[in-house]
Amino acid sequence: MSPTADERRPVVTSGAEPTPIGQLPPVGQVPATMQAQVIRPSRYGDPLTAFQPETVPTPQLGPDEVLIGVMAAGINYNNVWAARGYPVDQVAVRQKRGETEDFHIGGSDASGIVYAVGENVTGITIGDHVITHPGVWNADDPWIARGKDPMIAPSARIYGYDTNYGSFGQFTRVQAHQVLPKAPHLTWEQAAAPTLVGTTAYRMLHGWSGNTLSEGDVVLVWGGSGGLGTQACQLARLAGALPVAVVSDPERGAFAEKYGAVGWINRRDFDHWGIPPLVDDATGQKAWTQSARAFGKRIWDIVGERKDPAIVFEHPGASTIPTSIFVCEAGGMVVVCAGTTGYDAMVDLRYHWTRQKRLQGSHGTNDEQARAYNDLVVAGKVDPCLGRVEPFDAIGRVHAAMGRGEDVFGNVSVLVGAAEPGLGRQ
Ligand code: NAP
């Protein structure tokens, strides 16, 4: 089980006052309070106003947990949802589980310095330069005790979305197994940028036995210039596969190519999105199929042969699932981790079963996948695709822009404890 409020211990070793943003106290000294960008239920709605800077108590630490002084935090789409309080009211869900806080400090990617460790933690030392992966679970979950994938366990959560005290505060609390070495060649803001999307992409492409990435596979990557998409393009290329990006303009296409896409399709050239005409509408179905076929032909034109995607990398959801399933090769997999455009997606089961395709859900990462992904980053084989760096007080604005679909060039980081961009290389 996660530690209860009683089992968590204060780690306070220095004064009560937080340091200014852009500074952290001497390593190992933890003030009683910290600054954070805080979401409260009374402010749910537009991320621009849902996030507000506040001074809050520094989180206490359970025996298997680690306190990290955050130098930079990565921005992810999940805290657009958290700020809206939709589809999940995270504060209410946690209060139902017995947590007492009436606020949410999000942030699912951190780079920083270890300031304190719980009494059971081994192999992590105060002063280590680290990053975090987003998979959280209870080690004594019966599912995990049976040797099963912890990210499918009933206790599995996403750090800094389902859990409180994420990386949008000066200190963040994580489970020890989430802590990974920071790539020494990266700055704080680069290191904070890619891990949630990168590990998610790694699990989607390598985690589903029977349909894992193989050399020569065509992989269709929706949102090829975005956070997930730029990681997926790189991972596919590293495995010798042929990632074809889908984007909404040529500039985004060029960005996806920079990170490994062999070509790109402008989705604005087509209009067959959303729920297709139903089976008794023969004329409508014919028109839909023609457009979906033309989209599939673009894939063949890019790869230079009539080869359909073995894997379709999905997250837009409602708008694109029918096309994803249509173009996926027989026996192939559409792997989906989100429904950004909506959750009500339609599948024409006739083709699904006769062509024996797989529609696979995927969420987060387990430790093994996170380590494998981070090893590639540390080795310099995967680029964090940092599109932009912003200050701490821009957290609300950046999420608002992301929610409007404006931040689509790789990843965005904010500086928290780092005084300026460019620091942190060792
Ligand atoms: P992002 O950086 O904002 O990228 C989203 C991409 O979606 C954009 O590049 C955009 O590209 C594309 N897009 C927007 N509207 C579209 C539409 N109508 N049809 C097709 N594509 C569209 O976001 P991200 O970080 O990649 O995350 C994407 C989604 O995955 C979010 O909902 C996020 O919460 C989710 N996610 C889930 C997990 C998990 O573990 N389950 C992990 C990470 C992310 P174009 O406009 O150029 O097409």
What pLDDT does residue 2 have?
Answer: 67
Question: pTM score, two decimals?
Answer: 0.96
For ligand 1, whether the C-beta of 267 sits within 6 Å is yes
Ligand 1 center from residue 53 Cα (angstroms): 27
For ligand 1, whether the C-beta of 196 sits within 6 Å is yes
For ligand 1, whether the C-beta of 337 sits within 6 Å is yes
For ligand 1, whether the C-beta of 78 sits within 6 Å is yes
The closest-lying atom of ligand 1 relative to the alpha carbon of residue 341 is 18
5 — pLDDT class (breaks 50, 70, 90) = low
Which CATH superfamily does the domain covering 5-195+386-415 fall into?
A: Medium-chain alcohol dehydrogenases, catalytic domain (3.90.180.10)
List Cβ neighbours of 214 (8 Å cut-off, separation of 6 or more). Answer: 239, 240, 241, 310
Mean pLDDT of 353-357: 96
What pLDDT does residue 9 have?
Answer: 74
Q: Give the closest residue (by CA) to ligand 1 atom 31.
A: 77
Is the pLDDT at 1 greater than 60? The verdict is: no
The closest-lying atom of ligand 1 relative to the alpha carbon of residue 364 is 40
Mean pLDDT of 66-93: 97
Structural contact between residues 11 and 60, judged by C-beta atoms closer than 8 angstroms? yes
For ligand 1, whether the C-beta of 220 sits within 6 Å is no
Tokens of 156: 């599995």
Question: What residue segments make up the domains of the chain, in order of their start?
Answer: 5-195+386-415, 208-361
Which CATH superfamily does the domain covering 208-361 fall into?
A: NAD(P)-binding Rossmann-like Domain (3.40.50.720)
Mean pLDDT of 262-289: 96
Q: Give the closest residue (by CA) to ligand 1 atom 8.
A: 223
For ligand 1, whether the C-beta of 369 sits within 6 Å is no
Structural contact between residues 223 and 244, judged by C-beta atoms closer than 8 angstroms? no
Secondary structure class of 33 (helix, strand, coil): strand
For ligand 1, whether the C-beta of 197 sits within 6 Å is yes
Tokens of 393: 């007080």
405 — pLDDT class (breaks 50, 70, 90) = confident
For ligand 1, whether the C-beta of 319 sits within 6 Å is yes
7 — pLDDT class (breaks 50, 70, 90) = confident
Is the pLDDT at 14 greater than 60? The verdict is: yes
Percent of the chain with pLDDT over 70: 98
DSSP state of 294: H
What pLDDT does residue 13 have?
Answer: 67
The closest-lying atom of ligand 1 relative to the alpha carbon of residue 362 is 41
- Using one digit for the tens of pLDDT, what is the confidence trace for 309-342? 999 999 999 999 999 999 999 999 999 999 999 9
Ligand 1 center from residue 340 Cα (angstroms): 6
- Across the chain, what does the average pLDDT equal? 96
Across-strand partners of 220? Answer: 244, 312
User: Quick check: do 5-195+386-415 and 208-361 share a fold?
Assistant: no
List Cβ neighbours of 243 (8 Å cut-off, separation of 6 or more). Answer: 219, 220, 221, 224, 232, 233, 236, 237, 260, 261, 262
Task: Measure the CA–CA gap between 152 and 150, rounded to whole angstroms.
Answer: 5
Q: Give the closest residue (by CA) to ligand 1 atom 32.
A: 340
Mean pLDDT of 72-78: 97
For ligand 1, whether the C-beta of 320 sits within 6 Å is yes
